[in-house]
């Protein structure tokens, strides 16, 4: 009963975001697992494929600070609507262009447009939830996102054999519909103090001062630095893993790949278990929670990397291989479910109210930096036929990052002591 009360008590804006995440995630997950394979047929080098995929996060790195600052000044809703509408237009453009340069330019534009959404959207959730409710709210958003992960890859694996361009049309349409829904249904949540400050000329915090505040917040910078390697791990599972499976398992599976089904399992587990796990973790130690989740996540990446050579050397059949990969993906996903919502809660909790979206933007930089370095490293190692080492390096790095999170609680306590 308490479980349903918590769900019912979520703010309307949170539920609009959950529904929107479900729709757009379904469309994007039809596209993203096959994006690297799509580009493989369009350019002449896997290193170029990796660079096209990595340039989008780098572009978003430059746009996220601006997008977060604009969301703190002009409102969350405006930035969210602009971002989704622009991304819709850019996605549909992918199906009309040819050549490395054209894909590179569109990837840059997509990164910039996407960077305006997450800081505003994450700040909106923090605006309408109490600190003790944020882990549950962010967990609920992951349920919506991963519900799309369940059905998206399965639909994509069916559609891609008929028309790869259709994947871009569907994703663009979903984002376009979501932008209209946000414009009509969302309520602006910019804190009243921000609005009053912005109405008075000259009372806004200057951008230079904002940068100084960010650069002197050692706790925030520590979080970003330790999170970059985690983001690199995510980028490989979502981007280069299909190619790794193709290189490793083609003798067993042929043109069919187990990747879409494993990602659907990942999404299904999140849909079923994310909110209960987030509710359980709501009042737990953030540092220890992030440590345990990240450790399990890193061991999952290592297991995914070692699985193909070990399973093939033993001589297992394809169904046994698929079953074992499913077990690996299950505990990899559990680590992800423990780790991810708590990370967003941590940034929301340490952010000053008047800079909440800006802090969210800086916190998200770990994804943009890792999203750039991950595919670039992956493309380089895959060209050298060293795919296994990619997962060994990143899995080990994630485990080390998790160990560093053990000190997070002490750092937060020290920060509060100084403020107090």
Question: CA-CA distances (angstroms) from residue 401 to 278, 353, 396?
Answer: 21, 28, 9
Per-residue pLDDT averaged across 13-22, rounded?
Answer: 83
Q: What is the pLDDT of residues 104-162, one digit of tens each?
A: 899 899 888 888 888 888 888 888 887 777 778 888 887 777 777 777 777 777 776 66
The separation between CA 273 and the C-alpha centre of its own chain, rounded to angstroms, equals 18
Kindly report whether the global pTM for this prediction surpasses the value 0.75.
no
Per-residue pLDDT averaged across 337-351, rounded?
Answer: 82
In this predicted structure, what is the pLDDT of residue 377? 85
Asked if pLDDT for residue 267 goes beyond 90, the answer is no
Give the separation between CA 376 and CA 25, rounded to whole angstroms.
24
Asked if pLDDT for residue 346 goes beyond 60, the answer is yes
In this predicted structure, what is the pLDDT of residue 314? 84
Per-residue pLDDT averaged across 310-339, rounded?
Answer: 86
Q: What is the pLDDT of residues 234-260, one digit of tens each?
A: 888 877 787 788 777 766 666 667 777
Provide the percentage of residues in the chain whose pLDDT is more than 90. 8
Asked if pLDDT for residue 14 goes beyond 80, the answer is yes
Which pLDDT band, with edges at 50, 70 and 90, does 302 fall under?
A: very high
In this predicted structure, what is the pLDDT of residue 33? 67
Please indicate whether residue 420 or residue 417 has the higher confidence score (pLDDT): 417
In this predicted structure, what is the pLDDT of residue 245? 80
Per-residue pLDDT averaged across 207-216, rounded?
Answer: 75
Q: What is the pLDDT of residues 32-89, one digit of tens each?
A: 767 777 787 777 777 788 788 778 877 877 777 788 888 888 888 888 999 999 999 9
The conformational region for residue 51 under phi > 0 = left, psi -120 to 50 = alpha, else beta, is alpha
In this predicted structure, what is the pLDDT of residue 146? 73
Which pLDDT band, with edges at 50, 70 and 90, does 324 fall under?
A: confident
In this predicted structure, what is the pLDDT of residue 203? 47
Asked if pLDDT for residue 12 goes beyond 60, the answer is yes
Per-residue pLDDT averaged across 11-26, rounded?
Answer: 82
Asked if pLDDT for residue 195 goes beyond 60, the answer is no
| Best CA proximity match to 239, nearest among 384, 370, 143 | 370
Give the separation between CA 91 and CA 409, rounded to whole angstroms.
41
**Within 10 Å of residue 202's Cβ, how many Cβ atoms?**
6
In this predicted structure, what is the pLDDT of residue 160? 65
Which range, 228-237, 253-262, 308-317, is most confident? 228-237
Cβ burial, residue 162 (10 Å; 0-12/13-18/19+): exposed
Which pLDDT band, with edges at 50, 70 and 90, does 278 fall under?
A: confident
Taking all residues of the chain, what is their mean pLDDT, rounded to a whole number? 80
Token pair 């994947």 in the structure block, residue = 167
Asked if pLDDT for residue 202 goes beyond 50, the answer is no
SS (H, E, C) 291-324: HHHHHHHHHHHHHHHHHHHHHHHHCCCHHHHHHH
In this predicted structure, what is the pLDDT of residue 201? 46
Question: Which structure tokens are listed for 394?
Answer: 């990143």
């Amino acid at each position: 009963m308490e479980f349903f009360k918590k769900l019912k008590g979520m703010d309307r804006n949170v539920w609009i975001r959950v529904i929107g995440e479900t729709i757009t995630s379904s469309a994007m997950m039809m596209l993203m697992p096959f994006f690297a394979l799509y580009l493989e047929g369009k350019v002449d080098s896997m290193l170029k494929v990796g660079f096209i995929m990595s340039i989008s996060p780098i572009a978003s790195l430059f746009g996220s600070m601006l997008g977060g600052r604009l969301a703190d000044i002009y409102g969350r809703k405006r930035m969210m609507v602009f971002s989704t509408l622009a991304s819709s237009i850019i996605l549909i453009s992918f199906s009309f262009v040819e050549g490395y340069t054209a894909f590179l330019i569109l990837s840059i534009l997509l990164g910039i447009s996407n960077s305006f959404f997450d800081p505003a959207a994450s700040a909106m959730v923090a605006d309408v939830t109490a600190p003790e409710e944020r882990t549950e709210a962010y967990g609920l958003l992951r349920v919506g996102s991963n519900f799309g992960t369940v059905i998206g890859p399965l639909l994509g694996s069916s559609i891609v054999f008929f028309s790869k361009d259709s994947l871009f049309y569907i994703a663009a349409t979903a984002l376009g519909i979501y932008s209209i829904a946000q414009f009509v249904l969302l309520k602006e949540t910019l804190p009243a103090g921000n609005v009053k400050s912005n109405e008075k000329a000259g009372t806004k915090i200057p951008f230079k001062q904002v940068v100084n505040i960010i650069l002197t917040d050692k706790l925030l910078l520590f979080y970003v630095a330790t999170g970059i390697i985690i983001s690199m791990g995510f980028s490989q599972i979502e981007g280069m893993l299909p190619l790794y499976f193709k290189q490793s398992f083609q003798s067993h599976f042929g043109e069919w790949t187990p990747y879409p089904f494993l990602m659907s399992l990942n999404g299904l587990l999140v849909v079923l278990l994310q909110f209960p796990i987030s509710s359980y973790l709501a009042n737990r130690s953030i540092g220890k929670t992030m440590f345990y989740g990240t450790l399990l996540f890193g061991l999952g990446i290592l297991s995914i990397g070692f699985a193909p050579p070990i399973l093939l050397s033993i001589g297992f059949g394809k169904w046994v291989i698929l079953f074992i990969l499913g077990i690996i993906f299950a505990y990899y996903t559990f680590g992800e479910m423990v780790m991810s919502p708590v990370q967003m809660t941590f940034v929301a909790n340490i952010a000053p109210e008047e800079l909440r979206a800006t802090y969210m933007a800086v916190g998200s930089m770990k994804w943009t930096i890792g999203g750039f370095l991950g595919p670039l490293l992956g493309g380089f190692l895959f060209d050298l036929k060293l795919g296994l080492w990619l997962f060994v390096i990143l899995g080990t790095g994630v485990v080390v990052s998790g160990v560093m999170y053990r000190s997070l609680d002490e750092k937060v306590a020290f920060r509060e002591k100084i403020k107090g």
